[in-house]
Chains A and B, each alone.
Chain A
Amino acid sequence: MTEVLASRSFRGLAAGDAIESVHNDLDSLWLDVPFVQDMDQMTFTTAVIESASNIVQHAEPAGQEPVELGVDIEVRPTLLQARVSAYHAKPPFGPMEPARPGEEAESGRGLALIQALVTTVTFERQDGTNTWVLSRTSQQD
């Protein structure tokens, strides 16, 4: 594994203000690694916010404890990677395949958008935690 050049971690209740905190973390992260191209910053930020929002909107608690959102982001020389987790959550319901919403649909575009934005998306479930791992191979100047 190559060296981690910059990173950010967030963990908190899965609620709207968590999305703003993660977005602020991403904005400050890019200031630490100005060599990451604008296109990579833009696409990766969008994918991370989409995934985190998906958890806030859809993850259901498995028991008494509320769902927590965790976002761990690492920047390596040619790789951007985020682990976006739902703690204390039930396994996702139904197939995790992108929907094909009609033109007038107001939701259902998130998963397809995430897949279009990053190089790979994988899902893991371990110890009651759902984790999406988003990776984007970044361009170098």
Chain B
Amino acid sequence: MVDKSTVGHIHMSGCTGCLVSLADNYGGLLTILDRYADLVYGLTLADVRHIPKMDVALVEGSVCINDKLSVEEIKQTREKAAVVVAVGGCACYGNITRFARGGQQNQPAHEAYLPVGDIIKVDVYIPGCAPTPQLIRNVCVMAYLLLKGTKEQKELATNYLKPLMMAAQRGTTACFCDLMTEVINQGLCMGCGSCASACPVRAITHEYGKPQGVRDLCIKCGACYNQCPRSWFSIDVVSAYEAINEAIMAALQ
């Protein structure tokens, strides 16, 4: 395909788990790179020193504000990329880096980390610690359709990406508490169990059909809230699940 989009992977302060998740699409990743996207920037993956102009920047990790280069690079990312996607809990919400207190060799003064959205405007969130290969894949395919697809494909991609864009607008903090304040306290929880299954640290159980969180275990990744069908739910998009899944699988054939 001639008309590929250009994509870069920007590595801020993260554990590289998000990049591994991207790679865990195996053949699917190769198909994406063959047909839909050229990787124009990425540590160890593309031999490019400075952040180039690109369509989509996938940013992993939070920004260490004590590190001049990180701050400089995240600002450049915003200037150079048409769409900035925060990939993973750290980029979206700070996640485990919220608990950083510095004192780590060889940069003991690096102690303050902020989610990307606190430094620049972010367009799309892919929450999760680690984000799943499948969601990264879906967003890659949808981003391509949005930029290069037909009118109908653009509409489908817009509808699919809308909640992830709304998540980016909603804010840069996440916690099990979101389930309490935005779902349970709002009288919306019906006890389906999604949150407990989504939690990467098993901090959530259900008692009498309602979620209980061990808040000391919570790493603030945002998976529970975003996986909850009562945080955000598009009846139209989810009702077309069969067709959308088929379209994505066909795109990767």
Q: Do chains A and B interact in one complex?
A: no
Give B contacts to A, CB under 8 Å: none
Q: A residues within 8 Å of B by Cβ?
A: none
